Amino acid sequence: MKRLKQVFWQWRGVLVAAPGVSAIVILLRLSGGLQSLELAMFDQWVRSRPVEPRESHITIVGITESDVQRYGTPLTDEKLAEVLEKLKQYEPTAIGLDLYRDIPVGKGYDRLVNVFKSTPNLIGIQKVVGGAVNNAVPPSPVLKELGQVASNDVLLDADSKVRRGLLGIMDGDEYLSSFAATLSMIYLDQKNIVPEELEDSRVKLGKAIYTPLQSNDGGYVRAESGGYQILMDYRGGRNRFDQVSIQQILDGKVDPKLLQGRILIIGATAESLKDYFLTPYFEPVAGVEIHATIANQLINSALSGRAPIQVWSEASENAWIVVWSVVGAVLVWRERSRRFNSLKLLMKFLGAASILVIASYLAFLGNWWIPLVPAGMSLAWSTIAVTAFQAQSSSQLRKTFGRYLTDEVVTQLLETPEGLTLKGEKRKITTLISDLRGFTHLSEKLPPEEVVRMLNLYLSEMTRVIKSYGGNINDLTGDGIVVFFGAPLQKPDDAERGVACAIAMQLAMNSVNRRNQELGLPALEMGIGINTGEVVVGNIGSEDHTKYTAIGSHVNLAARIESFTTGGQVLVSPSVWEEIQEIVTVESQTEVLMKGMTTQTTLYEISAIAGRHLLKLPSKQFNLKSLAQPISVQGALLDGKHLSDQHFRGEIVRLSQKVAHLQTEAMLSPLSNLKLKLALVDSEIEVYAKVLNQKVEQGYYVQWTSAVSELEALL
């Protein structure tokens, strides 16, 4: 259960956004809100497919504008009989008469009846379904009696386009085959191909199997599903079939190859007869070509085995929508641990969208119509939803934690279901502690607002550097900073990055002090101590107040090492030195006795690091000036922040802005802290200093740890 909770929390954005977006898109689709877009996409796929060569199974005998002017409209029975007699001479496989002949037209009716009765492969039409615009039209009584009648009803979608074809329709209690299906069956029968009924209303026709289109198949929503409907497999726009005119037939000026052994469909092609329909192509197509397209589709599928345009089940289509919703959500969610990059996210989204479009197009080339619009909408909406979710849920947390922690650690904290309840554990970490030298003394002399401004400027720059090296700021103690490398996230180069970060922090003090100078603020100096060792890390505190921190002697040791530093110095412990000695430069090393220890510890002053970091501190130059009159000094050793019992006397004989040459007979340990009283001409001032490790005859070098304006006046 805990593992399941962890997984849910880690993927909460995906698990919330993806199902929600999917549900909205599916509901919108079921309401019909996407039907027009999906049908438009169907049209685009149809137009994008390669155009195939003209078909050879069917020839259209069109009533052209020239025929209308020459023979009038409609054709008289005598003229129609003459046309049919001419066509029969070419021995076509079937003749389809896409003209209504329910009543006699002009003279010649008896002649036409005789032609009807003597042409068993002639199929007439009737309009079964009436509507508000066009009423049902009965068939020719003669052809009806002969059983040579079929339905020529055309299915129009809401946008008046023809995308579906009929194989048959109920005429009352009688099932009537469609005009195109009847003609194609006659053609296929000569090749010994007859339809076979399978289960679930499927029909096997040669090598192809047809399934009737349902009202919610493909992009349709609650479409009229009466009769046996299929999706039309357009393979080109107008003029897909060979055409001859009535005049060419009557004048005998036609190539016999265009008529012999083919299906001949007689119908209106003149635009003035207004028997035109909209299709996925941009130009209207004559009704006779619609029937020819369906008949040709049936013949080609039966002979070649090319499957008709198929659709997925509703459950599969919904799953497809969910998949792309998940893809969109994951695209954004996986970027949550990184800085937001809108261009990168846009490129990833466009890449995923391209894959979706290409997959849908390739599927359509294989005669599968799969949802593109709702899937694309799910992809886009889930991307937007997760982006908004992340912005809402984590922006404030990232803003807060991001001041102290790396993006990677912030992400881990946000990924933990319990928030910040990280269990305690022993772990080897590198602790970096920095502190400003003499800042307490300095802050007492400045107005509070200037102290805050100076600290904020300093901490902002240090935070930037620390985060760039993967350090996690655990605590800010006024002017001090406690940084962990290895907690909460541990990496093999924690010590190396800690030392590189320390050098980079010291180098960054130059920009801090330049800014201070511009603002009229004093310059600052910082000391840094680093130690590596095993400590206990975890959340410590109560339910009301908890802090993730580290406890152990190695953290305390880092603090003690920092107390031995002077401004601009980086001191590391032996444990750090062991890990990084091959890539660092040691300026000096000092043996010191730390509080609570019985043996001395070697501290290494690091001035440069090689490898992938390549950082170096500037060389130290004291530039001491000899004083014409030495300055008398009364001094005392500091034990932490308290004065010890050890007092001494001496005098300053040389001086610079940072370092002085102190002559005294007292025995002072390197890196020990001093409180000095300097007797000037007109006054006595107190300063703090640290004994340096550099050797000097007759005394020691000491470095000021507090800035004193009186000393600057002396210089």
Check pLDDT > 80 for residue 547.
no
CATH of 407-616, one of 3.30.413.10, 3.40.50.1860, 3.30.2130.10, 3.30.70.1230: 3.30.70.1230
Beta strands in 491-565 (DSSP E): 526-541, 546-551
Beta strands in 75-192 (DSSP E): 94-97, 122-126, 149-151, 164-171, 174-177
Structure-block tokens of residue 541: 């505190």
Check pLDDT > 50 for residue 157.
yes
- Higher-pLDDT residue of 402, 466: 466
Check pLDDT > 70 for residue 210.
yes
- How many alpha carbons fall within 13 Å on the CB side of residue 323? 12
Check pLDDT > 70 for residue 245.
yes
pLDDT at position 55: 76
pLDDT at position 681: 76
Query: In Å, what is the CA distance from 706 to each residue of 642, 657, 674, 675, 685?
Result: 16, 11, 11, 10, 12
Helical spans, DSSP H, in 239-372? 246-251, 287-304, 314-333, 342-365
Distance CA 76, CA 80 (A): 6
> Residue by residue, what is the 3-state secondary structure of 406-441?
CHHHHHHHHHCCCCCCCCCEEEEEEEEEEEECCHHH
Segment 423-428 mean pLDDT = 83
> What is the DSSP code string of 600-641?
-EEEEEEEEE-TTT-EEPPPP----EEEEEEEEEEEEEEETT
Mean pLDDT value across the chain: 88
Segment 132-140 mean pLDDT = 79
Sorted by where each begins, the domain ranges of the chain are: 18-31+312-390, 44-153+175-192+236-308, 407-616, 625-714
pLDDT at position 340: 59
With CA atoms as reference, report the closest residue to 705 among 507, 434, 432, 442.
442
Distance CA 21, CA 378 (A): 6
Distance CA 209, CA 663 (A): 108
- What percentage of the chain has pLDDT greater than the value 90? 59
Check pLDDT > 90 for residue 542.
no
Three-class SS of residue 176? strand
CATH of 625-714, one of 2.30.40.10, 3.50.50.60, 3.40.50.1820, 2.40.10.220: 2.40.10.220
Segment 668-687 mean pLDDT = 86
Provide φ and ψ at 164, rounded to 5°: -120, 145
- Higher-pLDDT residue of 394, 392: 392
Check pLDDT > 90 for residue 479.
no
Pick the range with the lowest mean pLDDT from 30-34, 330-334, 591-595, 704-708: 704-708
pLDDT band per the 50, 70, 90 thresholds, residue 229: very high
Rg (CA), the chain: 46
Structure-block tokens of residue 189: 């029968």
pLDDT band per the 50, 70, 90 thresholds, residue 670: confident
pLDDT at position 407: 60
Strand (E) or helix (H) holding 657:
none
Three-class SS of residue 65? helix
Say which residues have a Cβ less than 8 Å from residue 422's Cβ, sequence separation at least 6.
416, 488, 537, 538, 539, 548
**Residue 256, preceding peptide bond in cis (omega within 30° of 0):** no
- Higher-pLDDT residue of 640, 353: 353
Strand (E) or helix (H) holding 597:
none
Three-class SS of residue 706? coil
Segment 568-593 mean pLDDT = 93
What is the pTM assigned to this prediction? 0.60
Q: What number of other Cβ atoms are within 10 A of residue 354's Cβ? A: 10
Beta strands in 437-525 (DSSP E): 472-477, 480-485
Say which residues have a Cβ less than 8 Å from residue 171's Cβ, sequence separation at least 6.
126, 128, 151
With CA atoms as reference, report the closest residue to 349 among 389, 381, 374.
381
Q: What number of other Cβ atoms are within 10 A of residue 692's Cβ? A: 22
Segment 13-17 mean pLDDT = 78
pLDDT at position 446: 86
Fill in the DSSP letter of residue 534: E
Check pLDDT > 80 for residue 546.
no
pLDDT digits (tens, 9 = 90+) for 394-410: 555 555 555 555 565 56
Distance CA 557, CA 531 (A): 7
Q: Are the beta carbons of 684 and 676 closer than 8 angstroms?
A: no
pLDDT digits (tens, 9 = 90+) for 43-70: 999 999 888 888 789 999 999 999 999 9
Q: Are the beta carbons of 454 and 437 closer than 8 angstroms?
A: no
Distance CA 654, CA 631 (A): 9
Check pLDDT > 80 for residue 380.
yes
Three-class SS of residue 691? strand
Check pLDDT > 70 for residue 28.
yes
Check pLDDT > 60 for residue 532.
yes
Please tell me the chain's helix, strand, coil percentages from 3-state DSSP, rounded to the nearest 5.
40, 25, 35
First vs last Cα of the chain: how many Å apart?
A: 72
Q: Are the beta carbons of 244 and 62 closer than 8 angstroms?
A: yes
pLDDT at position 662: 93
Long-range contacts of 171-179 (CB under 8 A, 24+ apart): 171/126, 171/128, 176/126, 176/128, 176/149, 176/150, 176/151, 177/150, 177/151, 178/150, 178/151, 178/152, 178/153, 178/227, 178/294, 179/96, 179/98, 179/123, 179/125, 179/150, 179/151, 179/152, 179/291
Distance CA 136, CA 362 (A): 41
